[in-house]
Amino acid sequence: MKIQWDKRYTTIAIYCFLVILASSSSILIISNFNAVSSTVGWFIGILSPFIGGFAIAYMLNPIIMMFETKLLKHLSLKKLRRGISLLLTYSISIIFITMLIINIIPQLQSSITTLISNSTNYIDNINNYFLDLAKENPWLKEPFNSAADYLEELIKNSGDIIKNIIPTVLSITTSVSNILIAIVASIYLLAAKEKMLSQSRKMLFAFAHKSTAERLLGISSFTNDCFNKFISGQIYVSLITGTITFIVASFMGVPYPLIMAFIIAITNIIPFFGPIIGSVLCIFIVLLVNPVQALWFGIFIIILQQIDSNIISPRIIGGSIGLAPFWVMFSIIISGALFGFAGLVFGVPLFTVIYSLIRITINDKLAEKGLPANETDYYEKYEVVDNHFRVPDEIKKKRMFKLPFIKKKNNKSDIKEDSSK
């Protein structure tokens, strides 16, 4: 007996099966979350060298493109240009990292160790300074005592944290095999990036509709531009601000200038909150040694952050990222809570992409309805008057009943009519 398949019911059955499968999978994942998370972590650990290789290739690609398009553009052979660019880029990177390890990291570790060992003396100095101040102003004695106890506890905890961070960083850097695999993978990715991009696009057009594939390619290109511009710009800005901090701190005689520069450079990578956190932390460290000097150093940090936000960042990153300060703060808090430090760094460009895609979709929907896309049009046309929503005239004409609470703005006849009533 031949079965007569009904296309409509077959489609419904397939959708029901997929819904049941997705629901069952979600229940299993939630009920065995620890096992699933450990399995995912194990799988990511296996792929970590290749993820690192992709990150290295992504960071070094702008340098390679600079060599190919500007310094080596006279070479006719493309493979020769690519090979020389790879050699120059990796040679410069290795020399820079070697100098960093040999010269800066030992000094940084020595400064941190000295800071931790002298923290008790610094606390005593701060206590004596505030006690002398409290003698002249007795009403400050109780707040200063509470602040001193909190400060002592904070220093002890921060010392433990720093002592735990150093072995962790060293253990990460000692994973030589993963680092070597990541470097080799990045070289292969950069050497054959055009071929790999072509293969991925070929696969996309094979399994997706042409219009969908073209839209996805446009989104990926826009995402790449946002991340590339933001990350490279933030790194350059951080290096500049860190260098300026080191030079000025050394000239001012501020203690631990290398630590100051390192903190400013690292925290400046994080938008919005990063400069604030770095500035407060640096001023706090200087305050432990010399409270008066901390005041002048704080003034310098404030001036530096103003120069950074108004001159350095706009010139390097290219101005605003297109997000209001509220959405920048929102993206940092949410992404930081979900993904940690990586979320703090990459949350803003990721949210910029999501925000832009939503805005484009909304504008397309409005264009289909023949409505304007400018936000000010909606503020002026759909206005709140006397705590009521003002409906446009063309919409009110279509209604079958009168809305007594709706008033036209600055309409004197309506006002007289209401007063007569």
pLDDT tens-place string over residues 36-83: 778 887 888 788 888 889 988 988 888 888 888 888 888 878 888 889
Looking at residue 26, its pLDDT comes to 85
Looking at residue 412, its pLDDT comes to 47
3-state secondary structure the chain: CCCCCCHHHHHHHHHHHHHHHHHHHHHHHHHCHHHHHHHHHHHHHHHHHHHHHHHHHHHHHHHHHHHHHHHCCCCCCHHHHHHHHHHHHHHHHHHHHHHHHHHHHHHHHHHHHHHHHCHHHHHHHHHHHHHHHHHHCHHHHHHHHHHHHHHHHHHHHHHHHHHHHHHHHHHHHCCHHHHHHHHHHHHHHHHCHHHHHHHHHHHHHHHCCHHHHHHHHHHHHHHHHHHHHHHHHHHHHHHHHHHHHHHHHHHHCCCCHHHHHHHHHHHCCCCCHHHHHHHHHHHHHHHHHCHHHHHHHHHHHHHHHHHHHHHHHHHHHCCCCCCCHHHHHHHHHHHHHHHCHHHHHHHHHHHHHHHHHHHHHHHHHHHHCCCCCCHHHHHHHCCEECCEECCCHHHHCCCCCCCCCCCCCCCHHHHHHHHHC
Looking at residue 408, its pLDDT comes to 46
Q: How far is residue 336 from each of residues 86, 107, 274, 330, 343, measured CA to CA in Å?
A: 34, 30, 12, 10, 4
Phi-psi region of 387 (alpha: psi -120 to 50; beta: other; left: phi over 0): left
Q: How far is residue 8 from each of residues 3, 21, 72, 127, 364, measured CA to CA in Å?
A: 15, 20, 61, 81, 32
Render pLDDT for 14-29 as a digit per residue (tens, 0 to 9). 888 888 988 888 888 8
Sequence-separated (6 or more) residues with CB below 8 Å from residue 330: 351
Looking at residue 405, its pLDDT comes to 43
State the Cα–Cα distance between residues 303 and 34, nearest whole angstrom: 48
Looking at residue 399, its pLDDT comes to 45
pLDDT by residue for the chain (421 residues), tens only, comes to: 455 666 677 788 888 888 898 888 888 888 887 887 788 878 887 888 888 899 889 888 888 888 888 888 888 788 888 899 999 999 998 888 888 778 777 777 777 777 777 767 766 776 676 666 666 666 666 666 666 666 666 656 655 555 555 555 555 555 667 888 888 999 999 998 889 989 999 999 998 888 888 988 988 888 888 888 888 888 888 889 999 999 999 998 888 888 888 889 888 888 878 888 888 888 888 877 787 888 899 999 999 988 887 887 777 765 556 677 788 888 888 888 877 777 888 888 888 888 888 888 888 888 888 888 777 777 766 655 545 555 555 554 544 444 444 444 454 444 444 444 4
0.75 cut: is pTM over it?
no
